[in-house]
């Protein structure tokens, strides 16, 4: 299938955008990326984005939104697949991708928590979510040897912790050694490395400092 003209409307910190970029890079798909400021959304973006969210994929003149839809479309128009062929296994991968989105909500709770107590509660919540994965994780990539879409999702989740690790020790992965190994493996994957711009960590630190939360006030003040 000929690849149409693709433009990914993006934001520098958005983990959902990174899911689409990882798919584009894994499948070596030519595309353009346009970054927008989500705190000051351009009019042209408002006019084409039903939910006002990134990522948005322009396919010639058509618009796709929702990262899962975008990733699966990109996967389907290129040879090979980043999803298992077996329907049950594919459904399971989709379930764990949803779980990854839920972990992103806990990460937002972690950096927005107003008090020490609520912050510690979010640390426990995150640790217990990763423990769910630890219990069934076999090692290597999520499905063993082959990299799949679900790996891309968790690569973007673990990236937050690479920056959090420069702030303090939160013991999120203390009881999940297999997840920690998975994290290290994903860190070395080039599609995951190049899914963000080089200044990602600085941008995230600036964003975190602006939260006016326990993390930003108590821990980031002297950084
Ligand atoms: N379910 C959506 C979530 C996308 C999303 O939440 N994007 C955020 C940035 S990471 C956004 O555009 N927020 C802008 C807003 O809500 O105003 C997906 O998977 O694409």
Determine how many CB atoms are found less than 10 A away from the CB of residue 174.
11
The domains of the chain, with CATH numbers, are 6-76 (3.40.30.10), 87-219 (1.20.1050.10)
If you measure from the C-alpha of residue 71 to the centroid of ligand 1, how many angstroms do you get, rounded to a whole number?
15
DSSP 78-144: SSS-SS-SSHHHHHHHHHHHHHHHHHHHHHHHHHH--SHHHHHHHHHHHHHHHHHHHHH--SSBTTB
Candidate from 12, 13, 14, 94 with most ligand 1 atoms within 8 A of CB, to mutate: 14
Catalytic hit among 9, 14, 64, 192: 14
If you measure from the C-alpha of residue 65 to the centroid of ligand 1, how many angstroms do you get, rounded to a whole number?
10
> What tens-digit pLDDT sequence spans the chain (223 residues)?
789 999 999 999 999 999 999 999 999 999 999 999 999 999 999 999 999 999 999 999 999 999 999 999 999 999 999 999 999 999 999 999 999 999 999 999 999 999 999 999 999 999 999 999 999 898 899 999 999 999 999 999 999 999 999 999 999 999 999 999 999 999 999 999 999 999 999 999 999 999 999 999 877 776 5
User: What is the C-alpha to C-alpha distance for residues 223 and 154, in angstroms, rounded to an integer?
Assistant: 27
DSSP annotation of 179 reads H
User: What is the C-alpha to C-alpha distance for residues 53 and 17, in angstroms, rounded to an integer?
Assistant: 10
14 is a catalytic site residue: yes
DSSP, collapsed to helix, strand or coil, labels residue 56 as strand
Query: What atom of ligand 1 comes closest to residue 53's alpha carbon?
Result: 12
Ligand 1 in reach of 54 Cβ (< 6 A): yes
If you measure from the C-alpha of residue 10 to the centroid of ligand 1, how many angstroms do you get, rounded to a whole number?
10
């Amino acid at each position: 299938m000929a690849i149409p003209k693709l433009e990914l409307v993006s934001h520098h910190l958005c983990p959902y955008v990174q899911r689409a970029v990882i798919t584009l890079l894994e499948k070596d798909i030519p595309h353009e990326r346009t970054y927008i400021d989500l705190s000051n959304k351009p009019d042209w973006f408002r006019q084409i984005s039903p939910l006002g969210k990134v990522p948005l994929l322009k396919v010639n003149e058509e618009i796709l939104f929702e990262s899962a839809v975008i990733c699966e479309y990109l996967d389907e128009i290129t040879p090979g697949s980043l999803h298992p062929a077996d329907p049950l296994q594919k459904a399971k991968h989709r379930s764990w991708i949803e779980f990854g989105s839920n972990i992103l909500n806990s990460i937002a709770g972690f950096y927005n928590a107003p008090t020490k107590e609520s912050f510690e509660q979010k640390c426990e919540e995150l640790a217990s979510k990763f423990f769910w994965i630890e219990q069934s994780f076999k090692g290597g990539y999520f499905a063993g040897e082959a990299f799949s879409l679900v790996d891309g999702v968790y690569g973007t989740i673990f990236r937050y912790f690479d920056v959090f690790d420069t702030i303090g020790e939160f013991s999120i992965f203390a009881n999940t050694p297999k997840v920690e190994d998975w994290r290290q493996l994903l860190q070395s994957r080039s599609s995951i490395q190049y899914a963000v711009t080089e200044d990602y960590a600085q941008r995230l630190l600036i964003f975190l400092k602006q939260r006016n939360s326990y993390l930003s006030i108590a821990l980031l003040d002297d950084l």
